Amino acid sequence: MANIQKRPNNKWRARYRDLDGKEHARHFDRKIDAQRWLDEVTASLVTGQYVDPRSTKKPFKDYAEEWRTRQPHRPSTAKAVAQHLRCYVYPAWEKRALGAIKPGDVQSWVTGLSTTHNLAASTTRTVFNTVNAVFRAAVRDRMIPHNPCEDAKLPSVPRKRIVPLPVNQVRRLAAEIPARYRGLVLLGAATGLRPGELFGLQLRHVDLLHATVSVEQQIQQAAKHGVYVGPPKTARSYRTVPLPRIAVDALKAHLRDFPVNAPEG
């Protein structure tokens, strides 16, 4: 229900009830302004875009902490997110209301990550992604009407050229390392698997007949959880990797010299 009434002081009072039945009102000098505001609110209610004005006043930190505890982050990601917020975000916006943070505020903050905190471009982008996720969730929760992170200008990350070790250096490293880990060196050099993915491989992931390994898990380490087996980094990280002859030979030699479940010698 919505209506407009003229008050004894000649102001026009526009009122409406939100989806929870709570009444909201504003006063205007002109009836046409009251009607325009009421039309905008009514349209937002009908289209599902309505944002309770009180929601925008919620402190950023309060909402960000609620968001953080709801996320299904892996322990390492959860630790990084908490650190981003504590070190780089809350000092700037701890007492600011969600709806009071504008695109210009975000842009100034992003620039400060590089100029004040001396963060690398890649780290600046990572911290920004955390804040962007908070504001996207706030829009979905109808806490704010728009995400102030949209169209923010981020520092470019220079591409790093990956230069693999020459074959002779790989062979030399494999020759110098203890025999139990020789196959690990050769397999890593031949496949490019991440260290955690290499450490997470088990016999069931190896198919020597078809010369492949399946990446289905990885070894991770976190302060509160120690070393544990977890899922690969992303959904795309689940994959089957072909093995060149040098990797197949290295795995065969490793399984011959160090059979699975055999005691270490």
Task: Report pLDDT digits (tens) over 104-142.
Answer: 999 999 999 999 999 999 999 999 999 999 999 999 988
CA dist list (Å): 87 to 81, 94, 95, 139: 10, 11, 15, 24
* Sequence ranges of the domains in the chain: 2-50, 57-140, 167-257
Q: Chain centroid to CA 188: how far?
A: 27
Model confidence at 265, pLDDT cuts 50, 70, 90, reads very low
Task: Report pLDDT digits (tens) over 200-227.
Answer: 999 999 999 999 999 999 998 876 668 8
Contact 215, 243 (CB under 8 A): no
Instruction: Report the CATH fold assignment for 167-257.
Output: hpI Integrase; Chain A (1.10.443)
Intrachain domains 57-140 and 167-257 with the same fold: no
Could you tell me which CATH class the domain 57-140 is placed in? mainly alpha
